[in-house]
Each structure stands twice: as C-alpha cells, then as structure tokens.
Structure 1
Amino acid sequence: MADSDTVTRAAPDTVKILIAGGFGVGKTTMVGSVSEIAPLRTEEPLTEAGLGIDDLAGIEDKKATTVALDFGRITIGDDLVLYLFGTPGQQRFWFMWNDLALGALGAVVLVDVRRPESSFAAIDFFERRGIPFVVGVNGFYGEHPYPPDEIRDALALPDHVQVLLCDARERGSCRDVLIALLDQLIAVAEEAEGGGTLTRPGR
C-alpha cells in the first residue's frame, strides 16, 4: 500500500522537436551531445556507391551518414521532456521528412556557414508547413566568422526567425538553442490561444 504522504506526480508533458538541415551540418552530433540517453542512430558508412550522388564538397572527411533518423531525449525541468528527431540530410532521403514531421511542434534548422545553401530545403520545408523553427549556426572548429544578422540576410530569413550561434559538440550550447525554440513555441501558443497550455518550468 502506498504511503499516505506520498505525492503522485503527473507524467511530464512531451514535445517532439525535429533537428534538420543539410547533409553534414551536425545534426547527429547535436542530438548525441544534448541527449540524456544513449541516442538512437541509423548511420551507415559512406561508400563509393554514393559518389556523384552525395555532395561532399567542404565535408570531405565525413565517413558516415544518417539514413533514417537520429533520436534523443532531454528533460527540461520536472514536467517537460523534449523528444529529438534528427532528419537525414541527403536529398534522396527527403521523402522521409513528411513522416518525421508528424506531431512535431517545432524544429531547429542547423546551418553550416561554409555551405549555407545545404540548409535552404529545410528552411523551405518548415516555412511551407507553418512549423515554427529557429536557425542554429553550427560553428565548426569553434569558429563563427559571421554575425547572426549577416547570416539572416544570406538565408533571406524573416525577422521573427531567431538565428543562434552554437556548437553542436557542446551540450550547453545545444540546450540553449532548444530552450530558445521552446520559448518561441510558448509565445506562438499564447498568441494563438490567448494563453497556451505549454509552459516552461520556472515561468
């Protein structure tokens, strides 16, 4: 029999978030860095069969690629859990994006400033479907050569889309990007419903 003083905690709210972007921008790294569980990965080695299909310009050292999804989880406070789904980046796997987007409340679009064009398709995907997103600029080798405003102009992003500098290798940096997205989702819910039900702990 349960102790009469035991307080029954409600199950935490869960939110599905996509981590998207072009081929080799750091999606698998971000999910692995921030996840509190061992991430599920569906990576396969790059082979000669992909030559001429996968564009390795600027990422010649890449040895493996995601062929289905990455999955991780991070708890934000006591009553909110984010489920993270990393999308495959190559064009031949884009058909999976529609299925992965089902039930997603928001997304992080990762951008490699060395190859910004590789993330145009992801930006267009979320804009067309009205899924809120933020842009995370992954600083490879810890470097950020361009300020957010220049990146916004280069990607032709509207003012309401946040552009955040980050490092996909660092948990704290990735968590900050996710919290920025979460705050944006709360604002969208409050505007749409006159007081949304999604609240971040501490608010």
Structure 2
Amino acid sequence: MDSNASDTIPGPRTEDRLPHTTEAAAKIVIVGGFGVGKTTMVGSVSEIRPLTTEETMTQAGVGVDDDFGSASKTATTVAMDFGRIRITDQVVLYLFGTPGQERFWFLWNGLFEGALGAVVLVDTRRLEVSFEVMGRLEERGVPFVVGVNTFPDGPRYPLEDLRAALDLPPEIPIVECDVRRRASSRDVLMTLMRFLHSLTLTGSLT
C-alpha cells in the first residue's frame, strides 16, 4: 500500500501515559469471526502493553464454539482486547478487539457504542463468517473497512473478486494485510482513518 508522510505513525512508546500534545481520541473496534487475527492485530500495533481477556479453550466448548484451527489455537477472547496507538502527536486511537466466538457476540453492542469506525478482519478460508459481522456494523451505522488477513495456508484471490464475494459496496475499502506485522496493521488503520475523513467531507459521517 502506498503511503506518504501524512500517514506516518510514531513508533511504540515505553510509557503508558498520553503525550501532553494529545487533543483528540477515537474509539475503533476490530471485529471478525473466531481466529481471524483480532487479538494479534491489537497486540502488534498497540504502543502500550495490550489488555487481553483470553481464556484457554477446553472440552466444554466442543460442539458449542467454532473449532476452526483449534489444532494450533489454544485460547480465545471472551470479553475484549484493548490497545492504543497515536496516529499523530495530537490524535490517539483506542482499539477494542471483539470476541470471535458466537456465544460472546452479545458483548458486541457495548463495544460498538461510541465507536468512530471499525476494521473487519476476514479469513479467505471462511468468508461466510464475515456476513453477520458486517451486517451488525451496518445495523449500528458504524463505518468500516475490510482487512483480508493473509494466512500462510489461506487461498489468495484478487481483491475485486473478494469484494464481489462479500457483496461490498464500491466505496468501502478492502485491503490485504498481515496482522502479525505492526506496519501492516498500521496501514489498515490508516485506510480506515482516510475512509472516515472522506465520509466527513461528503457529509456521510456526522
């Protein structure tokens, strides 16, 4: 993804205190199905030590929880992930990662409250789990962009093919990303911020 100087985000800080230059903050939610990389994204891009609410997956969840990828995934978010990143010295984003297991989706409404925008992470191996996620955001009127997390064993498709498969309107940005990489996660957030700015200019975001 092309970027310019205006897209530069300061690097990680060793302290949790906000800089005295901070003038504005925005709440951003990271959403998606189970195992799409929400916790990883928050952790990779946060400038502070992220708060996670992961619990070990047990036999009690068999037949109830999504078990896709369970051979390698041993924990799941049960409430939320939380992180923070400055996009300039004046503007800070508070990041809230939602739980992916469907039985915890009742928590989403509270996490969506007051959100300026959202990132929907999708896994090309399971595009179908993304439809209800995007539907809930549309119902709440939360603007979003789509990040296609590139798993090593996941199929790769042209972005326009994925746009058609997800039935995304042409104005909603869709980008590839590797949420393990801070720069890639940062680029997704900058795509969201540019999209929100464009909505402000057109009067679609008040």
AA of the residue aligned to 2:125: R
Map Cα deviations across residues 27-64 of structure 1 (whole Å, 9 max, x no partner): 00000000000000000000000000112134432100
Determine the structure 1 residue equivalent to 2:159: 148
Determine the structure 2 residue equivalent to 1:132: 143
Residue 29 of structure 2 is aligned to residue 18 of structure 1: yes
Tell me how far apart the structure 1 counterparts of residues 188 and 153 of structure 2 sit (CA, whole Å). Answer: 16
Asked if the contact 1:19/1:110 (under 8 Å) is kept, the reply is: yes
AA of the residue aligned to 2:44: S
Determine the structure 1 residue equivalent to 2:181: 170
Offset at 1:141? Answer: 2.4
Range with bigger deviation, 63-72 or 134-143: 134-143
Determine the structure 1 residue equivalent to 2:121: 110
Asked if the contact 1:21/1:109 (under 8 Å) is kept, the reply is: yes
Residue 203 of structure 2 aligns to a residue in which SS?
Answer: helix
AA of the residue aligned to 1:81: V
> TM-score, normalization: structure 1?
0.87
Asked if the contact 2:35/2:69 (under 8 Å) is kept, the reply is: no
Determine the structure 1 residue equivalent to 2:92: 81
Asked if the contact 2:56/2:76 (under 8 Å) is kept, the reply is: yes
Asked if the contact 2:124/2:154 (under 8 Å) is kept, the reply is: no
Asked if the contact 1:58/1:115 (under 8 Å) is kept, the reply is: no
Map Cα deviations across residues 150-173 of structure 1 (whole Å, 9 max, x no partner): 111111111111110000100000
Tell me how far apart the structure 2 counterparts of residues 25 and 11 of structure 1 sit (CA, whole Å). Answer: 32
> TM-score, normalization: structure 2?
0.86
Unaligned runs of 5+ in 2: 1-19
Report the aligned-residue RMSD: 1.8
Residue 130 of structure 2 aligns to a residue in which SS?
Answer: helix
- Count how many residue pairs are aligned between Structure 1 and Structure 2: 187
Tell me how far apart the structure 1 counterparts of residues 155 and 148 of structure 2 sit (CA, whole Å). Answer: 8
